Amino acid sequence: MNDTGKQPVLMPGEWLGMLGGGQLGRMFCHAAQSLGYKVAVLDPDPLSPAGAVAELHLQAAYDDASALDQLATRCRAVTTEFENVPARSLEILAARTLVRPGARAVAIVQDRITEKAFLDASGVPVAPYRPVQSEHDLSDAPDALFPGILKSARLGYDGKGQARVASREAALQAFAEMGGKPCVLEAMLPLAREISVVLARGADGATVVYPSATNEHRDGILAVSTVDTGSPDPLFQQAGEAALRIAGALDYVGVLCVEFFVLQDGRLVANEIAPRPHNSGHYTMNASVASQFEQQARATAGLPLADTTSLCPVIMLNLLGDLWFDPASGARREPDWASVLAVPGAQLHLYGKAEARRGRKMGHVNVLGASLEQVRERTIRVAAALGLPFEG
């Protein structure tokens, strides 16, 4: 069922489908349910965080024919919470129900080689790169791509499937260690900072953009996102315009995030596209008129998109499973939530995951205040209570 012509508006009380049952799906469920919708989640995990709160959990593989049939029969529109859902499953569903975003958009961003070519064709700058299908591609790669980063073309996220390579020899070794599977070799650039843009696009082409977040990563995983409403950066507008160009070229429907590198000379370079809500948009749950998850529910149901106005400055701290282990002894412990919540402006969101593991995303804290200085002071207190590094 293609998004052409006049699209139906699905009324509260109807069913929306979600492929994927992680924390992003869970937060989508909460937002959709607050608007009056029922949600069916397809995910193979019996302890799925989204499945635990949805009206229906179809516990099956993402390409299970029977489960896809049940989802298409029950739900008039389906969305997804992660980019690695089989594009073929989206195509199967699209023959019978609305799928937002569509299979084509998801398929493009599932593969870094395809994604880079798409960004190039869209006129959005990317880091110098070369597709790597074989050792020969690395042997012939331009010297300017070293030092670089070798990234697996598929299934890489949060720093996984990536290796920094100082030389051609190191790249050949990393390629072999990755199993010789398709990769992208990107030149390492002189970075000043990283920012991201979260936007929503409706089936009618209407768009809304959230204020950009400035991000800090640790070990390849987003750790801190900061949104300052007091001093807009001209680069943010440029990033927003580029992200809108990308969404239009994808004919995208739903919530989309584009991550950008800001180089030391002030240039903006696109890093990657996430066809879903994003960690760096979690701040919207408390510091915006409407969250990115409400936008996803609205876009999926065909409702008008919501207001993206920021209410105040905010810093988001990502909470990984490491916090549940004593740094000295390694013994299991519960973080000091009472001290966190004693800090004014601190809003805690835990994802309902049964087991804490190192590196696993377990929740986040949004810290709000009247000024960025106040937010930073409060965030220092929250980080100290959790034992997180944060210099303010």
Query: What per-residue confidence (pLDDT) applies to 328?
Result: 86
Q: Which CATH architecture has domain 15-109?
A: 3-Layer(aba) Sandwich (3.40)
Domain definitions of the chain by residue range = 15-109, 128-187, 191-386
Q: Which residues contact 327 (CB under 8 A, 6 or more apart)?
A: 387
Buried b (16+ CB within 10 A) or exposed e, 354-377: eebeeeebbbbbbbbbeebebbbe
Q: Rounded to an integer, what distance in angstroms lies between the CA atom of residue 253 and that of residue 207?
A: 9
Task: Specify the residue for token string 């980080």.
Answer: 383
CB under 8 Å to 69, separation ≥6 — which residues?
none
Interior angle at CA 112, CA 99 and CA 214, nearest 5: 85
CA distance 16 to 40: 6
What is the end-to-end Cα distance of the chain in Å, rounded?
49
Which residues make beta-bridge pairs with 216? 224
**Separation CA 188–CA 159 (nearest Å):** 15
pLDDT confidence of residue 359: 93
pLDDT at 335: 96
SS3 at position 222:
strand
pLDDT in tens, the chain (392 residues): 445 446 789 999 999 999 999 999 999 999 999 999 999 999 999 999 999 999 999 999 999 999 999 999 999 999 999 888 998 999 999 999 999 999 999 999 999 999 999 999 999 999 999 999 999 999 999 999 999 999 999 876 655 788 999 999 999 999 999 999 999 999 999 999 999 999 999 999 999 999 999 999 998 899 999 999 877 788 999 999 999 999 999 999 999 999 999 999 999 999 999 999 999 999 999 999 999 999 999 999 999 999 999 999 999 999 999 999 998 898 999 999 999 999 999 999 999 998 999 999 999 999 999 999 999 999 999 999 999 998 87
CA–CA gap between residue 331 and residue 325 (Å, rounded) = 5
**pLDDT at residue 6 in the model:** 65
**What is the fold of 128-187?**
Dna Ligase; domain 1 (3.30.1490)
Longest dimension (CA), the chain: 61
The SS3 of residue 288 is strand
Which helix (H) or strand (E) segment is 19 a member of? strand 15-19
Omega before 101 cis (within 30°)?
yes
Domains 128-187 and 191-386 fall in the same CATH topology: no
Domain 191-386's class? Answer: alpha beta
Residue 171 identity = A
pLDDT of residue 159: 58
Tokens of 182: 């398709």
Work out the angle between the directed axes of helices 112-121 and 103-110 (0-180°, nearest 10): 110
